[in-house]
Amino acid sequence: MPKQLHRNINYLRVSVTDRCNLRCIYCMPKEGLSLLGHNDILRYEEILRVVRAAMPEGITKVRLTGGEPLARKGLAEFISTLTGLKGLTDISLTTNGILLADHAEAIYQAGIRRINISLDSLNPERYRTITRGGSLETVLRGIRKAAEVGFSPIKINIVLMKGTNDDEILDFAKATLRWPYQVRFIEMMPIGRDNTEAVTEYLSNDVALDRIGRMFKLDYLGENGAPENRGPARRYRIEGAKGEIGFISPISHEFCDNCNRLRLTADGHLRACLLSDDEIDLKPELRSGCSDEVLKALIRKAIASKPAGKSTLPGDPSPKKCRRQMSAIGG
Ligand code: SAM
Ligand code: SF4
């Protein structure tokens, strides 16, 4: 397994589409983004080829994301092919949950078990405002359905924004008393947005932890995963709660040194770092009938190009000039 600076690069995040049925204020401009044409997006067979080629290079975990992955036709069939690959130990999905009630059964049957659902407010009006039109009730129905069909773990992701949803920190924390899910606060990253709102809206997760800690007795559960392969969430549980609270803090507590991820964009670019526009375009090779060896060499090149850590992001919430928006990278 290739190691980079004592990290195992074993996790591939795949954006299966740049399209989305929401327009979250921190992720996309109001007018949306100019979308890729169908021919620009990797076909499922092409994604599968990349995953297959990445496995001997150390990839064992794949997360499907987007845009909104459930908005792409044929996702359940694609998941079945992925879950049939021996050697992948973990296949998961990140979704906004709007289409989840309709698709939960099929994607569970296809073999996926772990799901992350983005939910930035428990207030219907506010949810509509943040997502520019989404229905909270529809997402809650999706979460209930996911639990009913057996998804576990279910993680609920909240991007915190000062003055927008930070007054709900305690409401989300309290929800873990009855929800057997991991509720995770994520610091807003100032990626790709062509404005400066991100600076004023940024809220350190230390503030959230402090507010929750004043109200509830919290047990520290540690970080996700084994030490050499650690996920970025620091986890806690309110005494007696059914669920957990996690903090993902890329700005106040950077975790670049431990980053084990590669990203494949919907248009077939491999990206070694969320914050760097250095990418390797796999599409021309894929479409000119390249050999698996060529593909593997490009994957090794991406792995080798992974920065040592300590990006410019930690402690600095000012907007970065990434060429791509978060919806195009996949989060
Ligand atoms: N549409 C799906 C969703 O919303 O879950 C998947 C794609 S979305 C880009 C993946 C994750 O990125 C979501 O949890 C979203 O909240 C997060 N995200 C998007 N923009 C972000 C930002 N500026 N800072 C932090 N997280 C962000
Ligand atoms: Fe769409 Fe997810 Fe971005 Fe919201 S965060 S606009 S749901 S891709």
Could you read off the pLDDT of 7-42 as tens digits, one per residue? 689 999 999 999 999 999 888 888 777 778 889 999
Ligand 1 atom 4, closest CA: 96
Which of 25, 94, 131 for mutating ligand 1's site (highest number of atoms within 8 Å of CB)?
A: 94
Query: Which residues constitute the domain of residue 274?
Result: 3-329
Q: What is the pLDDT of residues 110-155, one digit of tens each?
A: 999 999 999 999 999 999 999 999 999 999 999 999 999 999 999 9
- How far does the centroid of ligand 2 lie from the alpha carbon of residue 96, in Å? 7
- How far does the centroid of ligand 1 lie from the alpha carbon of residue 193, in Å? 13
Query: Which domain CATH number covers 177?
Result: 3.20.20.70
Establish whether residue 96 lines the binding site of ligand 1, counting it when its CB lies within 6 angstroms of any ligand atom. yes
Atom of ligand 2 nearest to the CA of 134: 7
pLDDT tens for the chain, 331 residues: list them. Answer: 444 555 689 999 999 999 999 999 888 888 777 778 889 999 999 999 999 999 999 999 999 999 999 999 999 999 999 999 999 999 999 999 999 999 999 999 999 999 999 999 999 999 999 999 999 999 999 999 999 999 999 999 999 999 999 999 999 999 999 999 999 999 988 775 545 455 578 899 999 999 999 999 999 998 765 554 456 799 999 999 999 999 998 888 877 777 889 999 999 999 988 877 789 999 999 999 999 999 999 999 999 888 776 555 545 655 455 667 777 777 7
Atom of ligand 1 nearest to the CA of 190: 23
Establish whether residue 25 lines the binding site of ligand 1, counting it when its CB lies within 6 angstroms of any ligand atom. no
**Residue 207 burial (10 A CB sphere; 0-12, 13-18, 19+):** middle
Atom of ligand 2 nearest to the CA of 21: 1
Establish whether residue 14 lines the binding site of ligand 2, counting it when its CB lies within 6 angstroms of any ligand atom. no
Q: What is the pLDDT, as a whole number, of residue 8?
A: 84
CA 199 to chain centre: 21
Atom of ligand 1 nearest to the CA of 157: 14
Phi and psi, residue 298, nearest 5°: -70, -35
| Ligand closest to CA 186 | 1
Establish whether residue 186 lines the binding site of ligand 1, counting it when its CB lies within 6 angstroms of any ligand atom. yes
Establish whether residue 118 lines the binding site of ligand 2, counting it when its CB lies within 6 angstroms of any ligand atom. yes
Q: What is the pLDDT, as a whole number, of residue 6?
A: 54
Q: What is the pLDDT, as a whole number, of residue 97?
A: 98
C-alpha–C-alpha distance, residues 273 and 305, integer Å: 9
Q: What is the pLDDT, as a whole number, of residue 192?
A: 58
Q: What is the pLDDT, as a whole number, of residue 331?
A: 76
Establish whether residue 23 lines the binding site of ligand 2, counting it when its CB lies within 6 angstroms of any ligand atom. yes
Burial track 148-165 (b if 16+ CB lie within 10 A, e otherwise): eeebeebbbbbbbbeebb
Contacts of 6 (CB under 8 A, 6+ apart): 228
Establish whether residue 99 lines the binding site of ligand 2, counting it when its CB lies within 6 angstroms of any ligand atom. no
Ligand 1 atom 10, closest CA: 331
Q: What is the pLDDT, as a whole number, of residue 1?
A: 45
Q: Report how many domains make up the chain.
A: 1
Please state the three-class secondary structure of 231-278 as a single string.
CCEEEEEECCCCCEEEEECCCCCCCHHHCCEEEECCCCEEECCCCCCC
Taking CA atoms, 82 is separated from 69, 147, 165, 196, 255, in Å, by: 15, 22, 36, 40, 28
Q: What is the pLDDT, as a whole number, of residue 190?
A: 77
